[in-house]
């Protein structure tokens, strides 16, 4: 497994995401994902599956200290009154005394000032409830603001990123700040699997279009990709992206698939003005 280093964190480059996975799906698939080799698991308070994630990690037989576990604080829990208490609840559900990475889930949707949010994030870090902290869905300007406000270094900005959405400018900013970018919707909600360019590249390597999309992400410096599947038979395929490499021309060709309307996720009231 490739490891991405960012501001002191060592993060497995390929993660297993649980967005929109029911507790039953998590219970059925996550233990098998961990046994397949996944060592990075991503969840969030709003996914309503932290309990299932914690139980699945326990049942997998993989030691907790071998797993990089991420969760995210929902915008309704940003106030000093709710922040630490919500993290304690997440830890209880996850059956652990700490997570490896704790993120603020969205930059908007709360009337709690940004400096207060960042201060609360640092406070739970100091208490040992998380090993690292970061942000999610932040714009470039918001990344700079959060980094300046934080006493501890931020290690990632988790954003939508796939071949049909360029994040070149945001990634450059992350690198300037010593951060990584964690890509969610890495396979563009299924679009990657049927794209003719990705299929053609995959055919040259004996790989699927989806594998090419994941490889394109993790082959970029400082990029982490979250894969997701509710199908056991897809786990091996999603994990088998470390035994081939894309050429420089292939990387450029895939990058040219991005379009101005390539974004999929942008909830009103939560999302920033995207770069």
The C-alpha atoms of residue 275 and residue 257 are separated, in whole angstroms, by: 18
Closest CA to 193 of 212, 174, 176: 212
Tell how far CA 249 is from the center of its chain: 27
The C-alpha atoms of residue 75 and residue 227 are separated, in whole angstroms, by: 24
Active site residue 47: yes
- Assign 3-class secondary structure to 187-222: CHHHHHHHCHHHHHHHHHHCCCHHHHHHHHHHCCCC
Tell how far CA 168 is from the center of its chain: 17
Do residues 134 and 107 make contact, with C-beta atoms less than 8 angstroms apart?
no
Q: Which of 47, 161, 184, 185 is catalytic?
A: 47
Do residues 212 and 2 make contact, with C-beta atoms less than 8 angstroms apart?
no
Dihedrals φ, ψ of 243, to 5°? Answer: -110, 15
Query: Among positive and negative, which fits the CA dihedral 238, 33, 15, 27?
Result: positive
Q: Residue 115 belongs to what H/E stretch?
A: helix 114-126
Active site residues: 47
């Amino acid at each position: 497994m490739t490891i991405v280093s960012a501001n002191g964190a060592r993060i497995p480059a390929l993660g297993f995401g649980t967005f929109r996975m029911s507790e039953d799906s998590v219970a059925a698939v996550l233990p098998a994902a961990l046994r397949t080799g996944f060592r990075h698991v991503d969840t969030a308070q709003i996914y309503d599956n932290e309990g299932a994630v914690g139980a699945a990690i326990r049942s997998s037989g993989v030691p907790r200290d071998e797993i990089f576990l991420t969760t995210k604080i929902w915008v309704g829990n940003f106030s000093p009154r709710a922040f630490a208490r919500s993290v304690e609840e997440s830890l209880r559900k996850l059956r652990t005394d700490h997570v490896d990475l704790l993120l603020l889930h969205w930059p908007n949707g709360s009337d709690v000032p940004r400096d207060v949010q960042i201060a609360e994030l640092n406070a739970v870090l100091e208490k040992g409830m998380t090993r690292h902290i970061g942000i999610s869905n932040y714009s470039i300007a918001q990344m700079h603001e959060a980094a300046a406000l934080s006493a501890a270094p931020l290690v990632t900005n988790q954003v939508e990123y796939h071949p049909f959405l360029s994040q070149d400018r945001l990634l450059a900013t992350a690198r300037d700040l010593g951060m990584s970018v964690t890509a969610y919707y890495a396979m563009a909600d299924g679009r990657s699997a049927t794209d003719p360019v990705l299929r053609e590249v995959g055919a040259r390597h004996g790989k699927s279009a989806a594998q090419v999309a994941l490889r394109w992400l993790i082959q970029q410096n400082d990029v982490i990709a979250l894969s997701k599947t509710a199908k056991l038979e897809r786990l091996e395929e999603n994990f088998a992206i470390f035994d081939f490499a894309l050429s420089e021309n292939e990387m450029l060709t895939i990058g040219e698939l991005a379009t101005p309307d390539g974004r999929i996720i942008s909830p009103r009231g939560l999302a920033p003005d995207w770069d």
